[in-house]
Chain A
Amino acid sequence: MEKVRSHLMLCAGTGCVASGTTKVKAALEQELAKKGLTEEIKIVLTGCNGYCAEGPVMAVYPEEIFYQKVTVEEVPALVEEHFLKGRPYQKLMFREPEKKAAIPGMKDIPFFKHQVLRVLRNKGLIDPEKIEEYIARDGYQAAAKALTEMTPEEIIKTVKDSGLRGRGGAGFSTGLKWEFASKVTSDVKFMLCNGDEGDPGAFMDRSVMEADPHSVIEGMIIGAKAIGAHQGYIYVRAEYPLAVKRLRMAIDQATEAGLLGKNILGSGFDFELDIYLGAGAFVCGEETALMRSIEGKRGMPRPRPPFPAVKGLWDKPSVLNNVETLAQIAPIILNGSAWYRSLGTEKSAGTKVFALTGAVNNVGLVEVPMGIPLRTIIYDIGGGIKKGKKFKSVQLGGPSGGCIPEHLLDIPVTYEDIVATGAIVGSGGMVVMDDNTCMVGTAKFFLEFTADESCGKCTPCRVGTKILLDMLTDIAEGKGKEGDIATLEDLSRDIITTSLCGLGQTAPNPVLSTLRYFKHEYESHIHQKWCQAGVCRNLTTFWIDEKLCKACGACLRACPAKAVVGEKKVPHKIIQELCVHCRTCYDTCKFNSIRILPAGFEGDPHEFLSKTAVGAKEEK
C-alpha cells in the first residue's frame, strides 16, 4: 500500500472549471512530478466548494490550508513552498477586504466559519465521481436502514417530525407530501426530483448535483420506499452539462453496485432511476408543468386539484421533491428527527443553502441554520458591501420574491418571517444591492424575466406581466403618469389572485415589495423625473458641486463623451448638451462632488439638494 501524506482538494464545480481548474490540475501534476512528489501527494477533484467568486479554489489536507485564485503561473512556487518545504504559500491565501493579513486555515475564514453543513456535508471533501468516497462518508447507510429496518410509515413519521420543508420555494412539509402519496392506492407511482433550477442567481441545486450526486439518489431511494414507487426521474435542465454528467455517472455506479435496480442491497425493494433533460423553460420548475414535460408534452401547468400526489406523472400518484430537499433526507434517517430539529426554529427546522451574490464582498454558496438574521449572512459571511458602499436592499427568492430594506435586516431567516416582509425564501437566491441601485429598474429586471418566461396558458399572467413590464419601462424612461402607482398595485393583486400557477401568482412580488419599501423612488421617477440612483438615463442630470470639486481631473479623463470641462485648480463642469448620462463621472469621483439632479433641472442645485437632503453619495 502506498502512503499518501497530503490531499489537494481542487474544486471542479462549474464556476472553478470556468476559472481554469483543468489547467491548474495539469500544472500541479507536472510540478509535483518534477519534484518527485507524485506518489505522496494526491490531487482530488471535488464538487463546488461554494466560494465561487475566488476560484479556482483548493483546500490542502491535513493542514486544511485554503488557497484561492490559483493560477498556472503560481503553481511552481506553490508546490515548492508548501508541498516540498512545508511553508504554506501566503500569496494565494484568503485576505479580508480591509485587512491585509493572510488567513491560512479554512476554518478561520469568516465565509466558512459561520456555515453549518448538512446539505453540503460532502462539499469539497469527496470526489463526486467516485461512489466509494460517498460510501466512506456514511453514504447509502440511510438507504440501507430505510430499506431493511423501517416501514414506510416509520420513514414518513421521521421525515414529518424533522420539520423538513420543501426547499424549492413553497416550503411545504416534505413528510406530509410523502404521506399523501403513500395513502393513494395504485400499482404504479413515481418518485421525482426537481433539478430545474431557474431563478436568476440561484445555483445551489446545480452545486449539490455536481458535488454530491449520490446524496440526491439516496434521498430518492428512501422517498420511493416511503411512497411505494419503483420508478423515478430526475428532471434537470440541459444547461447544466456537468450536473447531468455527474448524475449519469452516479446512477450508473449505483446501478452497478446494486443500489438502484432490482432487490437493492438484498432488501427485496426495486427502484429504477432515469434522468430527463429539460430545455430550460422557467415554468417547467412548476410541478404540473414539469410532469407534462417528462411525458413529452409542452411544459404547461394545469389547475390543481387533483394534486400530483393523487394524479401526477402519466396520471399516476407522484411526489416531486427539490434537489436540496432530497439531499437532506439521508442524514435525517440516520440521525433522527430530533437531530434535524436541533438547528433552526420551530416552524423552519434545519439549515438552508443560499446563493449569495450581488454587491457583497464574498460571493458564493452558503449553508446556515434557519432563523439566523439576514444581517449575519450579508455582513459576517458575505463580508459586507463591496467597495465600502452602503447597503440598500437584498432581493430574496428570485423573480417570485421581493426586496428587503435595511431596517428589516435583523429579522430571522424563516419561511414565515420572510413572507411577512413581502419576499419569500424561495429557492434561496440572495442578491444584495448597494445604494447605486434603482429599485424601479430592479422590479423591471425581474418582470422582464417573468414576462418572457410566462407560458401563455392563462391570460392574467400572459397579458398582465406584459402590462406591468410596459408600465415599469415607461416609468423608467420618464413617461410615468399620475395614477400609475395605484394601477401597478391593483393589477399586481389581480394577477396574483387569478393566475393559474405559481409563476403568475408570484410574478408581481418584485413590484409590490419595491412599492412597499421604496415607493418614494417610484414617486420621484413619475413626478420629479428623477432617478436618484442615477441609473435611468432619461431621469438624471449630473452636476458637479463646485464647492466639493478638487479639480483633480479624474472625471474629466474618464468621461467618454468629453462632456466634462475644467483644468487644474478650476472646479470642473459638465456640459449638459454633451452628457450621455452614463454615470462614469459619478463612479469615478473620490470626493463625492458629483450629484444627481432630476432630468432637465433648472434652478439652484444647492438650494434644491438642501431641501431634499438626498442626492449626495454617502461618505466613502
Chain B
Amino acid sequence: MPKLTIADLQKIKEKYKADFTLREGGYTVKIIVHMGTCGIAAGARNIMTAVMEEIAKVNRNDIIVTTSGCAGLCAKEPLATIELANQPPVRYCDLTDEKIREIFREHVLGGKPVEKYALVSGCETTY
C-alpha cells in the first residue's frame, strides 16, 4: 500500500461503502428472491444470478439482496419482491431471466413498478 493522504482515507471509505451498507443498514432497495423448494425447482437460482449480475453492472452500493422461503403461491414461482424505501413492496411472479432484468431496469433503477409482471403491490413489508 502506498503512503496515504487524508483524501485517500475518504476514497477507501467510499470503496468499502457497499460492504458497510450491508452490515450497518442504510440501503434503499431490497430485492427478495423467494427460494423455497418450489422456487428453486421453478428456476429461482437463475433469477438470483440475474439480479446479482445486474447489480454488479450498475455498481450501486445501496441495493441488498436476500432470499426468503416459499410465499405460498407455488404455482406462480419463481417469485421476487422488490422494496424501494418509502414505497409499498411489489411482488412479481412467473419470472424469467429476461423479465427480472427488465424489472430491475424499470423498477429498481427507474422507480416505476412493472405492472404487467406484478402479482400484487403492497404485500407485507420487511422494512
Bound together: yes
Interface residues of A, Cβ cutoff 8 Å to B: 1-7, 9, 36, 39-40, 61-63, 83-87, 125, 131-133, 135-141, 144, 148, 253, 256-259, 265-266
Q: Is the CB of B40 within 8 A of A84?
A: yes
Return chain A residues, CB-CB under 8 Å to B122.
none
Residue on A nearest B63 in the bound complex, by CB: A3
Say yes or no for B88: interface residue by CB 8 A criterion.
no
Q: Is the CB of B67 within 8 A of A125?
A: no
Return chain B residues, CB-CB under 8 Å to A84.
35, 40, 67
Say yes or no for B116: interface residue by CB 8 A criterion.
no
Return chain B residues, CB-CB under 8 Å to A4.
18-19, 22
Q: Is the CB of B67 within 8 A of A83?
A: yes
Q: How far is the CB of B58 from chain A (nearest CB, A)?
A: 10
Q: Is the CB of B1 within 8 A of A86?
A: no
Q: Give chain B's interface residue range (CB within 8 Å of chain A).
A: 35 or more
Q: Is the CB of A265 within 8 A of B67?
A: no
Q: Is the CB of A5 within 8 A of B36?
A: no
Q: Is the CB of B1 within 8 A of A62?
A: no
Return chain A residues, CB-CB under 8 Å to B19.
4, 7, 133, 136
Interface membership of chain B positions 1-20, coded 1 if the CB is closer than 8 angstroms to chain A and 0 otherwise: 11111100100110111111
Residue on A nearest B64 in the bound complex, by CB: A62
Complex CA distance for A229 and B103, rounded to whole angstroms = 59
Complex CA distance for A2 and B57, rounded to whole angstroms = 9
Say yes or no for B86: interface residue by CB 8 A criterion.
no
Return chain B residues, CB-CB under 8 Å to A258.
2-4
Give the top 10 A-B pairs by smallest Cβ distance, nearest first.
Answer: A86-B67, A258-B3, A136-B16, A5-B65, A86-B68, A3-B56, A87-B69, A3-B55, A135-B12, A61-B23
Q: Is the CB of A266 within 8 A of B5?
A: yes
Q: Is the CB of B13 within 8 A of A138?
A: yes
Q: How far is the CB of B100 from chain A (nearest CB, A)?
A: 14
Q: Is the CB of B6 within 8 A of A7?
A: no
Residue on A nearest B3 in the bound complex, by CB: A258
Across chains A and B, the number of contacting residue pairs, with CB separation under 8 Å, is: 104
Return chain B residues, CB-CB under 8 Å to A63.
66
Return chain A residues, CB-CB under 8 Å to B67.
83-86
Complex CA distance for A313 and B52, rounded to whole angstroms = 57
Say yes or no for B91: interface residue by CB 8 A criterion.
no
Complex CA distance for A84 and B5, rounded to whole angstroms = 42
Return chain B residues, CB-CB under 8 Å to A1.
56, 59
Across the interface, B12 reaches (CB within 8 A) one of A61, A85, A125, A136, namely A136
Contacts known (A6-B66, A84-B35, A84-B40); A257 close to B22, Cβ less than 8 A: no
Q: Is the CB of B6 within 8 A of A86?
A: no
Can you identify 12 A-B contacts, CB atoms within 8 angstroms? A1-B56, A40-B52, A85-B40, A85-B69, A86-B35, A125-B24, A132-B16, A133-B16, A136-B19, A144-B6, A258-B2, A265-B4
Across the interface, A135 reaches (CB within 8 A) one of B13, B37, B55, B56, namely B13
Contacts known (A7-B22, A86-B68); A257 close to B1, Cβ less than 8 A: yes
Complex CA distance for A62 and B13, rounded to whole angstroms = 19
Q: How far is the CB of A65 from chain B (nearest CB, A)?
A: 10
Contacts known (A40-B52, A136-B17, A138-B13); A265 close to B5, Cβ less than 8 A: yes
Return chain A residues, CB-CB under 8 Å to B17.
136
Return chain B residues, CB-CB under 8 Å to A36.
45
Q: Is the CB of B69 within 8 A of A140?
A: no
Q: How far is the CB of B51 from chain A (nearest CB, A)?
A: 8
Q: Is the CB of B9 within 8 A of A62?
A: no
Return chain B residues, CB-CB under 8 Å to A7.
19, 22-23
Q: Is the CB of A259 within 8 A of B4?
A: yes
Return chain B residues, CB-CB under 8 Å to A265.
4-6, 9
Complex CA distance for A125 and B12, rounded to whole angstroms = 16
Residue on B nearest A133 in the bound complex, by CB: B16
Return chain A residues, CB-CB under 8 Å to B20.
125, 136-137
Complex CA distance for A255 and B13, rounded to whole angstroms = 19
Q: How far is the CB of A619 from chain B (nearest CB, A)?
A: 44
Contacts known (A135-B9, A135-B12); A62 close to B52, Cβ less than 8 A: no
Q: Is the CB of B36 within 8 A of A85?
A: yes
Chain B stretch 65-79: residues in CB contact (< 8 A) with chain A: 65-69
Q: Is the CB of B23 within 8 A of A62?
A: yes
Return chain B residues, CB-CB under 8 Å to A87.
68-69
Say yes or no for B117: interface residue by CB 8 A criterion.
no
Complex CA distance for A61 and B18, rounded to whole angstroms = 12
Q: How far is the CB of A264 from chain B (nearest CB, A)?
A: 9
Complex CA distance for A387 and B127, rounded to whole angstroms = 38
Return chain B residues, CB-CB under 8 Å to A139.
9
Q: How far is the CB of B5 from chain A (nearest CB, A)?
A: 6
Interface membership of chain B positions 37-62, coded 1 if the CB is closer than 8 angstroms to chain A and 0 otherwise: 10010000100100011011001000
